[in-house]
Structure 1
Amino acid sequence: MSEEHPGIRRFREEHARRGGRGEIVVLPDGVHTAALAAEALGCEVGAIANSLLFDADGSPVLVLTSGAHRVDPVVTAERIGVASLRRASPDFVREHTGQVIGGVSPFAHPAPLPTYLDPWLARHEVVWAAAGHPAAVFSTTYEELRDITGATPVEVV
Protein backbone atom coordinates (compact mmCIF):
# COMPACT_ATOMS: atom_id res chain seq x y z
CA MET A 1 0.00 0.00 0.00
CA SER A 2 1.37 3.42 -0.93
CA GLU A 3 1.56 6.27 1.53
CA GLU A 4 -1.28 8.81 1.43
CA HIS A 5 -0.39 12.20 -0.09
CA PRO A 6 0.37 14.77 2.67
CA GLY A 7 -2.35 17.13 1.36
CA ILE A 8 -4.97 14.40 1.65
CA ARG A 9 -3.70 13.41 5.08
CA ARG A 10 -3.90 17.03 6.34
CA PHE A 11 -7.38 17.34 4.88
CA ARG A 12 -8.50 14.03 6.45
CA GLU A 13 -7.31 15.18 9.90
CA GLU A 14 -9.05 18.58 9.62
CA HIS A 15 -12.20 16.96 8.22
CA ALA A 16 -12.37 14.68 11.26
CA ARG A 17 -11.59 17.56 13.65
CA ARG A 18 -14.50 19.55 12.20
CA GLY A 19 -16.84 16.57 12.52
CA GLY A 20 -17.16 15.89 8.78
CA ARG A 21 -19.20 12.77 8.11
CA GLY A 22 -18.56 12.24 4.40
CA GLU A 23 -16.43 9.73 2.56
CA ILE A 24 -13.02 10.69 1.14
CA VAL A 25 -12.39 9.17 -2.30
CA VAL A 26 -9.23 9.22 -4.42
CA LEU A 27 -10.11 9.34 -8.11
CA PRO A 28 -7.93 8.38 -11.08
CA ASP A 29 -5.32 11.04 -11.92
CA GLY A 30 -6.95 11.88 -15.26
CA VAL A 31 -10.06 13.28 -13.53
CA HIS A 32 -9.21 16.99 -13.49
CA THR A 33 -12.45 18.81 -14.31
CA ALA A 34 -15.85 19.01 -12.63
CA ALA A 35 -17.37 17.15 -15.59
CA LEU A 36 -14.86 14.29 -15.37
CA ALA A 37 -15.23 14.09 -11.58
CA ALA A 38 -19.01 13.97 -11.92
CA GLU A 39 -18.72 11.16 -14.46
CA ALA A 40 -16.35 9.19 -12.20
CA LEU A 41 -18.62 9.69 -9.18
CA GLY A 42 -21.88 9.05 -11.02
CA CYS A 43 -23.41 12.42 -10.17
CA GLU A 44 -24.48 15.59 -11.95
CA VAL A 45 -21.77 18.18 -12.62
CA GLY A 46 -23.83 20.62 -10.53
CA ALA A 47 -23.15 18.47 -7.44
CA ILE A 48 -19.41 19.13 -7.72
CA ALA A 49 -18.39 22.00 -5.44
CA ASN A 50 -15.48 23.85 -7.02
CA SER A 51 -13.27 25.68 -4.52
CA LEU A 52 -12.15 28.80 -6.38
CA LEU A 53 -9.73 31.24 -4.82
CA PHE A 54 -9.97 34.84 -5.93
CA ASP A 55 -7.68 37.79 -5.34
CA ALA A 56 -9.55 40.77 -3.91
CA ASP A 57 -6.87 43.46 -4.15
CA GLY A 58 -4.29 41.22 -2.50
CA SER A 59 -6.64 39.48 -0.05
CA PRO A 60 -7.83 35.91 -0.64
CA VAL A 61 -11.54 35.11 -1.05
CA LEU A 62 -12.72 31.53 -1.42
CA VAL A 63 -15.88 30.83 -3.42
CA LEU A 64 -17.42 27.35 -3.29
CA THR A 65 -19.52 27.10 -6.41
CA SER A 66 -21.49 24.47 -8.25
CA GLY A 67 -19.67 22.83 -11.14
CA ALA A 68 -22.64 23.93 -13.24
CA HIS A 69 -21.77 27.62 -12.72
CA ARG A 70 -19.09 30.07 -13.70
CA VAL A 71 -18.57 32.74 -11.07
CA ASP A 72 -19.33 36.25 -12.34
CA PRO A 73 -16.53 38.16 -10.59
CA VAL A 74 -18.12 41.60 -11.05
CA VAL A 75 -21.52 40.58 -9.65
CA THR A 76 -20.00 38.45 -6.88
CA ALA A 77 -17.59 41.23 -5.81
CA GLU A 78 -20.52 43.60 -5.47
CA ARG A 79 -22.56 41.05 -3.50
CA ILE A 80 -19.76 40.31 -1.01
CA GLY A 81 -18.69 43.95 -0.68
CA VAL A 82 -15.22 44.01 -2.23
CA ALA A 83 -13.99 46.36 -4.95
CA SER A 84 -13.02 43.60 -7.36
CA LEU A 85 -12.34 39.88 -7.69
CA ARG A 86 -9.89 38.33 -10.09
CA ARG A 87 -8.85 34.71 -10.50
CA ALA A 88 -5.85 34.06 -8.28
CA SER A 89 -2.49 33.03 -9.69
CA PRO A 90 -1.16 29.54 -8.91
CA ASP A 91 1.39 31.05 -6.48
CA PHE A 92 -1.31 33.08 -4.70
CA VAL A 93 -3.46 29.93 -4.39
CA ARG A 94 -0.59 27.87 -2.94
CA GLU A 95 0.40 30.68 -0.55
CA HIS A 96 -3.09 31.07 0.92
CA THR A 97 -4.40 27.51 0.79
CA GLY A 98 -1.26 25.35 0.94
CA GLN A 99 -2.79 23.45 -1.99
CA VAL A 100 -2.63 23.53 -5.77
CA ILE A 101 -5.30 24.64 -8.22
CA GLY A 102 -7.61 21.69 -8.84
CA GLY A 103 -7.10 20.32 -5.35
CA VAL A 104 -8.13 23.27 -3.18
CA SER A 105 -10.37 22.04 -0.42
CA PRO A 106 -13.06 24.18 1.23
CA PHE A 107 -11.00 24.23 4.47
CA ALA A 108 -7.69 22.94 5.92
CA HIS A 109 -5.76 26.04 4.87
CA PRO A 110 -2.86 27.70 6.75
CA ALA A 111 -5.22 30.46 7.96
CA PRO A 112 -8.99 30.94 7.80
CA LEU A 113 -10.25 32.42 4.52
CA PRO A 114 -13.39 34.47 3.90
CA THR A 115 -15.58 31.82 2.27
CA TYR A 116 -18.75 32.10 0.21
CA LEU A 117 -21.06 29.26 -0.82
CA ASP A 118 -23.18 28.99 -3.97
CA PRO A 119 -26.77 28.20 -2.81
CA TRP A 120 -27.28 26.22 -6.04
CA LEU A 121 -25.42 23.35 -4.32
CA ALA A 122 -28.39 22.95 -1.95
CA ARG A 123 -30.29 21.36 -4.84
CA HIS A 124 -28.20 18.21 -4.46
CA GLU A 125 -28.58 15.65 -1.71
CA VAL A 126 -24.85 14.83 -1.91
CA VAL A 127 -22.17 17.35 -2.84
CA TRP A 128 -18.57 16.47 -3.70
CA ALA A 129 -15.62 18.80 -3.07
CA ALA A 130 -11.84 18.60 -3.31
CA ALA A 131 -9.99 17.03 -0.41
CA GLY A 132 -6.58 18.70 -0.53
CA HIS A 133 -5.26 17.08 -3.72
CA PRO A 134 -6.41 17.22 -7.37
CA ALA A 135 -7.37 13.52 -7.32
CA ALA A 136 -9.14 13.51 -3.93
CA VAL A 137 -12.75 14.47 -3.18
CA PHE A 138 -15.10 14.12 -0.25
CA SER A 139 -18.85 13.78 0.02
CA THR A 140 -20.90 16.17 2.09
CA THR A 141 -24.21 18.01 2.07
CA TYR A 142 -24.83 21.68 1.40
CA GLU A 143 -25.72 22.21 5.06
CA GLU A 144 -22.66 20.39 6.37
CA LEU A 145 -20.40 22.25 3.93
CA ARG A 146 -21.86 25.57 5.06
CA ASP A 147 -21.50 24.64 8.72
CA ILE A 148 -17.97 23.20 8.65
CA THR A 149 -16.60 26.08 6.55
CA GLY A 150 -18.57 28.92 8.11
CA ALA A 151 -19.31 30.03 4.55
CA THR A 152 -21.77 32.78 3.74
CA PRO A 153 -24.28 31.83 1.04
CA VAL A 154 -24.10 34.13 -2.00
CA GLU A 155 -25.43 33.94 -5.55
CA VAL A 156 -22.38 33.88 -7.82
CA VAL A 157 -24.00 34.16 -11.27
Structure 2
Amino acid sequence: MVRYRLEPISQHQALVRHYWSPRGSEARHGRALVSVLARASVQRVQAALENADSTARVIELAETARSAEDAATSVACALGQIVKSLVFAIDGAPVMALVAAKLLPEVLGIPGKVGRGDADAVKAVTGFSIGGALPLAHASPLPIAIDAGLQRYEMIYAAVGHPHCVFPESPAALVRMTGGILSDNLGEPADG
Protein backbone atom coordinates (compact mmCIF):
# COMPACT_ATOMS: atom_id res chain seq x y z
CA MET A 1 0.00 0.00 0.00
CA VAL A 2 1.29 3.43 -0.90
CA ARG A 3 0.42 6.40 1.33
CA TYR A 4 0.60 9.96 0.07
CA ARG A 5 0.61 13.34 1.72
CA LEU A 6 0.88 16.72 0.08
CA GLU A 7 3.13 19.36 1.54
CA PRO A 8 4.04 22.86 0.31
CA ILE A 9 7.70 23.11 -0.68
CA SER A 10 8.18 26.56 -2.15
CA GLN A 11 7.01 30.13 -1.91
CA HIS A 12 4.66 29.35 -4.77
CA GLN A 13 3.15 26.52 -2.74
CA ALA A 14 4.06 23.93 -5.37
CA LEU A 15 3.02 20.52 -4.16
CA VAL A 16 5.03 17.34 -4.30
CA ARG A 17 3.96 13.92 -3.13
CA HIS A 18 5.89 12.48 -0.24
CA TYR A 19 5.43 8.76 -0.21
CA TRP A 20 6.33 5.60 1.58
CA SER A 21 6.28 2.62 -0.71
CA PRO A 22 7.54 -0.93 -0.62
CA ARG A 23 10.56 -1.24 -2.87
CA GLY A 24 12.46 -4.29 -4.05
CA SER A 25 13.18 -7.09 -1.59
CA GLU A 26 11.50 -5.33 1.35
CA ALA A 27 8.12 -5.78 -0.32
CA ARG A 28 8.83 -9.38 -1.35
CA HIS A 29 10.05 -10.41 2.09
CA GLY A 30 7.49 -8.54 4.19
CA ARG A 31 9.99 -6.26 5.93
CA ALA A 32 8.84 -3.02 7.50
CA LEU A 33 8.46 -0.10 5.13
CA VAL A 34 10.99 2.67 5.66
CA SER A 35 11.10 6.00 3.91
CA VAL A 36 14.28 6.75 1.98
CA LEU A 37 14.43 9.86 4.16
CA ALA A 38 15.72 7.53 6.90
CA ARG A 39 18.77 6.48 4.85
CA ALA A 40 22.13 7.60 6.24
CA SER A 41 23.16 9.40 3.03
CA VAL A 42 19.90 11.38 2.92
CA GLN A 43 20.14 12.22 6.63
CA ARG A 44 23.73 13.39 6.04
CA VAL A 45 22.41 15.92 3.54
CA GLN A 46 19.62 17.06 5.87
CA ALA A 47 22.20 17.51 8.64
CA ALA A 48 24.41 19.56 6.27
CA LEU A 49 21.43 21.78 5.43
CA GLU A 50 20.70 22.31 9.13
CA ASN A 51 24.38 22.99 9.89
CA ALA A 52 24.31 25.65 7.17
CA ASP A 53 21.34 27.32 8.90
CA SER A 54 19.01 26.36 6.05
CA THR A 55 15.33 25.79 6.68
CA ALA A 56 15.13 23.51 3.60
CA ARG A 57 13.91 19.97 4.14
CA VAL A 58 14.80 17.02 1.95
CA ILE A 59 11.78 15.98 -0.11
CA GLU A 60 11.05 12.37 -1.02
CA LEU A 61 9.48 12.30 -4.46
CA ALA A 62 6.85 9.88 -5.73
CA GLU A 63 8.67 9.69 -9.06
CA THR A 64 12.36 9.44 -9.87
CA ALA A 65 14.75 12.38 -10.14
CA ARG A 66 17.43 10.40 -12.00
CA SER A 67 17.63 13.05 -14.71
CA ALA A 68 17.02 16.80 -14.63
CA GLU A 69 13.93 16.24 -16.79
CA ASP A 70 12.59 13.59 -14.38
CA ALA A 71 13.25 15.84 -11.39
CA ALA A 72 11.47 18.82 -12.99
CA THR A 73 8.46 16.63 -13.78
CA SER A 74 8.40 15.16 -10.25
CA VAL A 75 8.69 18.57 -8.58
CA ALA A 76 6.40 20.27 -11.13
CA CYS A 77 8.89 23.05 -11.84
CA ALA A 78 10.78 24.47 -14.81
CA LEU A 79 13.77 22.47 -16.04
CA GLY A 80 15.99 25.49 -15.30
CA GLN A 81 15.13 25.21 -11.60
CA ILE A 82 16.93 21.87 -11.33
CA VAL A 83 20.53 22.27 -10.20
CA LYS A 84 23.04 19.96 -11.90
CA SER A 85 26.07 19.32 -9.66
CA LEU A 86 28.86 18.23 -11.98
CA VAL A 87 32.38 17.29 -10.90
CA PHE A 88 35.21 18.22 -13.24
CA ALA A 89 38.97 18.16 -12.92
CA ILE A 90 41.32 20.99 -13.81
CA ASP A 91 44.73 19.41 -14.35
CA GLY A 92 43.60 16.60 -12.07
CA ALA A 93 42.26 18.79 -9.22
CA PRO A 94 38.53 18.18 -8.61
CA VAL A 95 36.11 21.11 -8.85
CA MET A 96 32.33 21.33 -9.00
CA ALA A 97 30.10 23.32 -11.33
CA LEU A 98 26.46 23.84 -10.61
CA VAL A 99 25.45 23.61 -14.34
CA ALA A 100 27.64 24.00 -17.48
CA ALA A 101 31.38 24.29 -17.02
CA LYS A 102 33.35 25.34 -20.10
CA LEU A 103 34.85 28.39 -18.36
CA LEU A 104 35.63 26.77 -14.99
CA PRO A 105 39.37 27.51 -14.92
CA GLU A 106 38.76 31.25 -15.40
CA VAL A 107 35.81 31.41 -12.97
CA LEU A 108 37.64 29.51 -10.21
CA GLY A 109 41.05 31.02 -10.91
CA ILE A 110 42.59 27.57 -11.39
CA PRO A 111 44.61 27.37 -14.62
CA GLY A 112 44.60 24.12 -16.58
CA LYS A 113 42.72 21.79 -18.86
CA VAL A 114 39.13 20.89 -17.90
CA GLY A 115 37.98 17.26 -17.94
CA ARG A 116 34.99 15.41 -16.48
CA GLY A 117 35.54 13.68 -13.16
CA ASP A 118 35.33 9.89 -13.45
CA ALA A 119 33.01 7.81 -11.27
CA ASP A 120 35.71 6.96 -8.72
CA ALA A 121 36.88 10.57 -8.42
CA VAL A 122 33.32 11.84 -7.99
CA LYS A 123 32.65 9.28 -5.23
CA ALA A 124 35.97 10.07 -3.52
CA VAL A 125 35.48 13.85 -3.31
CA THR A 126 31.71 14.08 -2.86
CA GLY A 127 30.94 10.84 -1.03
CA PHE A 128 28.15 10.20 -3.55
CA SER A 129 27.98 8.23 -6.79
CA ILE A 130 28.23 9.96 -10.14
CA GLY A 131 24.78 11.21 -11.12
CA GLY A 132 23.89 11.68 -7.45
CA ALA A 133 26.46 14.35 -6.60
CA LEU A 134 25.05 17.35 -4.79
CA PRO A 135 26.16 20.89 -3.96
CA LEU A 136 27.02 20.27 -0.29
CA ALA A 137 27.88 17.59 2.29
CA HIS A 138 30.99 16.58 0.33
CA ALA A 139 33.55 14.11 1.65
CA SER A 140 36.31 16.60 0.76
CA PRO A 141 36.19 20.39 0.27
CA LEU A 142 35.68 21.40 -3.38
CA PRO A 143 35.93 24.72 -5.20
CA ILE A 144 32.42 25.38 -6.57
CA ALA A 145 31.32 27.62 -9.44
CA ILE A 146 27.60 28.47 -9.62
CA ASP A 147 25.72 29.59 -12.72
CA ALA A 148 24.34 33.08 -11.99
CA GLY A 149 21.43 32.22 -14.29
CA LEU A 150 19.93 30.22 -11.41
CA GLN A 151 19.06 33.58 -9.80
CA ARG A 152 16.17 34.02 -12.23
CA TYR A 153 14.21 31.59 -10.03
CA GLU A 154 13.01 32.17 -6.48
CA MET A 155 13.40 28.47 -5.70
CA ILE A 156 15.72 25.85 -7.17
CA TYR A 157 16.00 22.12 -6.46
CA ALA A 158 19.20 20.12 -5.96
CA ALA A 159 20.01 16.42 -5.70
CA VAL A 160 20.36 14.71 -2.36
CA GLY A 161 22.31 11.63 -3.45
CA HIS A 162 19.20 9.46 -3.84
CA PRO A 163 17.15 9.21 -7.06
CA HIS A 164 13.89 9.89 -5.22
CA CYS A 165 15.01 12.93 -3.20
CA VAL A 166 15.76 16.62 -3.77
CA PHE A 167 15.96 19.70 -1.59
CA PRO A 168 14.50 23.13 -2.38
CA GLU A 169 16.51 26.27 -1.71
CA SER A 170 16.85 29.83 -2.91
CA PRO A 171 19.83 30.55 -5.18
CA ALA A 172 21.21 33.07 -2.67
CA ALA A 173 21.09 30.49 0.13
CA LEU A 174 22.80 27.91 -2.08
CA VAL A 175 25.65 30.35 -2.77
CA ARG A 176 25.95 31.08 0.97
CA MET A 177 25.85 27.41 2.00
CA THR A 178 28.39 26.20 -0.57
CA GLY A 179 30.74 29.19 -0.55
CA GLY A 180 30.60 28.90 -4.34
CA ILE A 181 31.66 31.55 -6.83
CA LEU A 182 28.67 32.99 -8.69
CA SER A 183 29.44 33.49 -12.38
CA ASP A 184 27.64 34.64 -15.52
CA ASN A 185 30.23 32.66 -17.52
CA LEU A 186 28.70 29.23 -16.89
CA GLY A 187 25.38 29.53 -18.68
CA GLU A 188 22.73 31.99 -19.72
CA PRO A 189 22.88 35.46 -18.08
CA ALA A 190 20.58 35.87 -15.08
CA ASP A 191 18.80 38.81 -16.73
CA GLY A 192 18.11 37.00 -20.02
Instruction: State if a TM-score over 0.5 links the two structures.
Output: yes
2:148 to 102, 119, 123: 119
Determine which structure has greater relative contact order: mean sequence separation of CA pairs < 8 Å that are 6+ residues apart, divided by chain length.
Answer: 1
Deviations along 1:90-132, whole A, 9 cap, x unmatched?
1110010000122211111122110111001000011000123
Deviations along 1:15-43, whole A, 9 cap, x unmatched?
11111112311224643110110011010
| Number of the residue aligned with 1:32 | 66
**Matched residue of 2:84: which SS?**
strand
1:125-144 equivalences under 5 Å are: 125-144=154-173
Q: Highest Rg: 1 or 2?
A: 2
1:71-110 equivalences under 5 Å are: 71-73=100-102, 75-81=103-109, 82-110=111-139
TM-score, L = length of structure 1: 0.88
Report whether the alignment pairs 1:46 with 2:80: yes
Deviations along 1:55-77, whole A, 9 cap, x unmatched?
11221101112xxxxx252x333
Contact kept? 1:102, 1:133, Cα under 8 Å: no
Structure 1 stretch 21-30 or stretch 81-90: which is displaced more? 21-30
TM-score, L = length of structure 2: 0.73
Contact kept? 2:107, 2:181, Cα under 8 Å: no
In structure 1, runs of 5+ residues without a counterpart are: 66-70
> Aligned Cα RMSD in Å?
1.6
Structure 1 stretch 113-122 or stretch 80-89: which is displaced more? 80-89
Letter in 1 for 2:148: P
Aligned-residue identity in percent: 30
In structure 2, runs of 5+ residues without a counterpart are: 1-32, 188-192
Report whether the alignment pairs 1:2 with 2:34: yes
2:174 to 145, 149, 154: 145
